Structure 1
Amino acid sequence: MTDEADAKTRLFILTAVRLASAALIGVGMAIIVGKIDVPRPAGIAFVIFGLLELLLLPPFLIRKWKTPGG
């Protein structure tokens, strides 16, 4: 793969991770306020997991890709 193709793929992956994290947080918030009929602790878990994914996964991937051979 070329450098440009690698960069496009990595940008797509980062965007997908961020979008999935935001969706997970949104679903969790909907559960917490009662819009979705699921137990509230599940909604809290969704929000916590979504926030952790949003804050930790993109920097981890960027660091991994910056290392030689990553």
Structure 2
Amino acid sequence: MSDEADAKTRLLVITAVRLASAALIGVGMAIVAGKIDIPRPAGIAFIVFGLLELLLLPPFLIRKWKSPER
């Protein structure tokens, strides 16, 4: 793959991680609000894991994929 294709793929993965995190938080909020019939502690867990994923995973991937200094 070319450098440009690698960059596009990495951007797509980071964006997908952010969207999945937001979706997880949204589902957790719907559970806590009673819109989805699942126990409330599961909703709280969804929110917590979604926030952790949103805050920790993209910076980790960015650091891992950072191009070396030339």
TM-score, scaled to structure 1:
0.94
> 1:18-41, CA deviations, whole angstroms, 9 ceiling, x for partnerless residues?
000000000000000000000000
> Separation in 2 of the partners of 1:31 and 1:67?
40
Point out where structure 2 has 5 or more consecutive residues left out of the alignment: none
> Separation in 1 of the partners of 2:61 and 2:24?
19
Q: Counterpart in 2 of 1:45? A: 45
Following superposition, the deviation at residue 57 of structure 1 comes to 0.1
Q: Counterpart in 1 of 2:14? A: 14
Following superposition, the deviation at residue 67 of structure 1 comes to 6.0
C-alpha RMSD of matched pairs (Å): 0.9
> Separation in 1 of the partners of 2:45 and 2:51?
10
TM-score, scaled to structure 2:
0.94
Residue type of the partner of 1:45? A
Following superposition, the deviation at residue 54 of structure 1 comes to 0.2
What fraction of aligned residue pairs are identical, expressed as a percent?
A: 85
> 1:25-62, CA deviations, whole angstroms, 9 ceiling, x for partnerless residues?
00000000000000000000000000000000000000
> Separation in 1 of the partners of 2:16 and 2:67?
22
Q: 1:24-39 maps to which residues of 2 (within 5 A)? A: 24-39=24-39
Following superposition, the deviation at residue 66 of structure 1 comes to 1.4
